[in-house]
Amino acid sequence: MIAAPFNAAPFYADLAEAPDGAEAVWLKVGSVRVRVASWKAGDKGTVLLLPGRTECVEKYGRAAGDLIARGYSVITIDWRGQGLADRALPDRHMGHVDDFAEYQEDLDAMLAEAGRAGLPKPYYLMAHSMGGCIGLRGLLRGLPVKAAAFSAPMWGISMAAWLRPVASVVTALARPLGFAHRYAPSTSCETYLLQVPFEGNVLTTDREMWDYMRAQVREVPDLQLGGPSIAWLGAALRECAAMARMPAPKVPTICALGTAEKVVDVASVHLRMASWANGQLDLHPGAEHEIMMEGPATRKRFFDRAAALFEANRG
């Protein structure tokens, strides 16, 4: 499916604290409208920056600056169902897709937009959390990138072992029994950043970055997203299980994971990276889920190592 530029889209540059020169556009992907933001800047290549669940392009304004400072251009996206992209359900606070293949359509549209905008090649992948799940599937499909950097990728859903068979049965029955569009257990319409205090949060140990993320969803309510639907959870479980049975792609990779990670399934990350012949697992002591939203030292280490990997694989 080919997506065509739709028109200029809003971009909250002040909240993003992004470099100048952002171009935000709407793309139509089938019947769905998604938002893409790009910076045509450095000539070393372009980083396809894939956000996690609940996230928006503004959240990666500072990350775009970090990559541009290292010589790269950047493109990122509001996946369908989050940010300012079209929401699937009447309850816009519920994250939902029926199948993770839908995100691959968005990824293809993002890649096409990189070409339309004349962003420099080669392309590289940088993906966080759910974006890591989407990105891995992209690599397995032959996404044309030279190297990839992952941050706490969602290659498994974190839950108690005894709950896994229960979750599989419940999500499989959700549609025929009519509760596929209910919130997944333990989640609600509340946006996590506005629901919990900084103390004890599972995203970052850095107060300044917490305030940065929180200000975006507080100031622009349309960016807020709560928990996922039961259907989304079922789709995520199926996608992670399917990819776990597949061999690692041959793309050179680094995967950053905080030792205090509590959001994604850590064992799945370790298993995947143990079988990735030209991949390296980079553990960040004390870091939580948001490696790119941690303190300055953690962030610098992540971007420096990603840039070194990209530079080593330009040919």
- Omega of the bond prior to 285 within 30 degrees of 0, cis? no
Q: CA quadruple 153, 265, 157, 93: dihedral positive or negative?
A: negative
CA distance to 9, 58, 124, 223, 294, per residue, from 78 (Å)? 11, 9, 18, 10, 21
pLDDT along the chain (315 residues), means of 10: 68 97 97 98 97 98 98 98 97 97 98 97 98 98 98 88 60 71 91 97 98 98 96 95 97 98 97 98 98 98 98 93
Model pLDDT, residue 2? 46
Spatial distance between the Cα atoms of 211 and 51, rounded to a whole number of angstroms: 18
Domains of the chain with CATH codes: 4-312 (3.40.50.1820)
Question: Distance between alpha carbon 72 and the CA centroid of its chain, in Å?
Answer: 19
Burial profile 13-41: b = 16 or more Cβ within 10 angstroms, e = fewer: bebbebbeebbbbbbbbeebbbbbbbbbb
Spatial distance between the Cα atoms of 268 and 155, rounded to a whole number of angstroms: 6
| Interval 21-65: pLDDT, tens | 999 999 999 999 999 999 999 999 999 999 999 999 999 999 999
